[in-house]
Amino acid sequence: MDESHRYSNILIHPTLHSFHAKLYLIKLHQLRKRMDNYHITASIKDEIALALGYDPKKPPVQVDDRDAANVLGVKTSTLAVWRSTGRYDLPYMKVGRLIRYRVSDLADFLAKFTTTKTA
């Protein structure tokens, strides 16, 4: 540790150029952020399953537009407007006249709007 430098609690060998060290730290930060998002999305999936009355260990793969609207706290007509205008990037499946939303897509959508800071 005598020849190493500390950058954000990570030991980096002194021969590593500072540009590469910064690039490494940026990549590490991005990886940590993706892992945090994964955990947030997983907990949101569990909350969705519970809100719809399912076991979180065996959540449904997809739900209809009424359940999706219930999860998001909007009306089904609002989801119809979002689908027709493309206002939000919320993926859905349409089979005939039936609309289905993947629970994982709903969780990803909610995770994008989840924040821990107000500033």
Amino acid identity for residue 30 in this structure: Q
Mean pLDDT, contiguous 10-residue spans, the chain (119 residues): 50 57 65 67 84 85 92 93 91 93 91 73
- 75 DSSP assignment: -
C-beta of residue 102 within 8 angstroms of C-beta of residue 61: yes
Between CA 2 and CA 45 the distance in angstroms is 46
Q: Quick check: helix, strand or coil at residue 62?
A: strand
C-beta of residue 110 within 8 angstroms of C-beta of residue 72: yes
Q: Has this prediction a pTM greater than 0.85?
A: no
Backbone angles phi, psi at 2, to 5 degrees: -70, -35
